């Protein structure tokens, strides 16, 4: 499969995303939820005009839409129609408060200055024409508008990922942090925006079961794939480490880049 085809298959609905999210919810050490933390970094205007790129199943708004003023104009977008369907199911009656839009993040169908807030939650590293996407985001933001882009740093899960890719026989895989991470994304945003700020969310994973870790990596199919015997070897690697040490402690480096004109 081509990279664009595998990406579409990976995100045809929310199933794979939710499988990875489960690992963080069960074994993350920061009990202050990620989506509440993300929302609290956003400075809402009055009335807010908000666009989320790559909204997925709408998890950010399931937890926080009640905190947004009723007069807010909120557009949730994704390139996947399956994700948007899952977003409607997840939000339920809250769907009436938002507008849904299927779009490519690199080509915004909005007028200049349409939004004062653009949210890109763990997704800009998937955008192939990212330079154009960032320019278009700046175009649709108001003069005082801000982009809130979450991503991961280079140290996040790197040691475990390197071991997993070796066992699975996966080579040449570019990490999200290398494409658009807290370090690399900062530099890319500075090419487009005048001001960029980085804020970090402090947490780690302390995983005490092998199967959820295996599920995490298997949720990356077809972008990551291997024959059955290699998946079995990866499970054994996790199980032996947990049996020896009682857990696998995994560094997690997450945060938000806030860009403004």
Residue 193: inside a domain: yes
Residue 219: inside a domain: no
Q: Is the pTM of this model over 0.75?
A: yes
Residue 237: inside a domain: no
Q: Which H/E stretch holds residue 152?
A: strand 141-152
Provide the terminal-to-terminal Cα distance of the chain, rounded to the nearest Å: 39
Q: The CATH number of the domain where 128 resides is what?
A: 3.40.50.150
Number of domains in the chain: 1
Residue 229: inside a domain: no
Residue 12: inside a domain: yes
| Strand 49-53 to 73-78 pairing | parallel
- pLDDT 10s per residue in the chain (261 long)? 566 777 778 788 888 988 999 999 999 999 999 999 999 999 999 899 999 999 999 999 998 999 999 999 999 999 999 999 999 999 999 999 999 999 988 888 999 999 999 999 999 999 989 999 999 999 999 999 999 999 999 999 999 999 999 999 998 677 899 999 999 999 999 999 999 999 999 999 999 999 999 999 999 988 888 999 999 999 999 999 999 999 999 999 999 999 998
Residue 227: inside a domain: no
The whole-number pLDDT of residue 248 equals 98
Residue 34: inside a domain: yes
Give the structural domain span for 138.
3-157+174-204+251-260
Residue 234: inside a domain: no
Q: Collect contacts of 17-21 with beta carbons under 8 A, ≥24 apart.
A: 17/56, 17/57, 17/219, 18/57, 19/215, 19/216, 19/218, 19/219, 20/216, 20/219, 20/220, 21/59
């Amino acid at each position: 499969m081509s990279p664009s085809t595998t990406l579409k298959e990976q995100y045809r609905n929310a199933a794979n995303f939710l499988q990875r999210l489960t690992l963080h919810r069960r074994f993350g050490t920061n009990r202050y939820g990620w989506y509440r933390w993300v929302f609290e970094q956003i400075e809402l205007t009055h009335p807010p005009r908000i666009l989320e790129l790559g909204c997925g199943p709408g998890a950010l708004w399931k937890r926080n839409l009640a905190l947004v003023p009723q007069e807010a104009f909120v557009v949730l977008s994704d390139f996947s129609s399956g994700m948007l369907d899952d977003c409607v199911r997840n939000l339920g009656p809250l769907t009436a408060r938002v507008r849904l839009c299927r779009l490519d993040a690199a080509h915004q169908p909005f007028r200049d200055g349409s939004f004062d807030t653009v949210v890109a939650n763990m997704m800009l590293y998937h955008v192939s024409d990212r330079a154009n996407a960032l320019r278009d985001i700046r175009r649709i933001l108001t003069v005082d508008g801000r982009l809130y882009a979450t991503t991961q740093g280079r140290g996040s899960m790197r040691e475990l990922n390197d071991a997993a890719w070796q066992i699975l026989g996966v080579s040449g895989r570019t990490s999200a942090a290398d494409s658009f991470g807290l370090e690399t994304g900062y530099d890319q945003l500075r090419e487009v925006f005048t001001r960029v700020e980085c804020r970090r969310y402090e947490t780690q994973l302390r995983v005490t079961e092998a199967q959820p870790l295996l599920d995490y990596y298997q949720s990356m199919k077809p972008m990551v794939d291997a024959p059955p015997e290699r998946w079995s070897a990866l499970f054994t690697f996790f199980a032996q480490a947990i049996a020896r040490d009682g857990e696998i402690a995994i560094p997690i480096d997450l945060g938000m880049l806030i860009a403004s004109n």
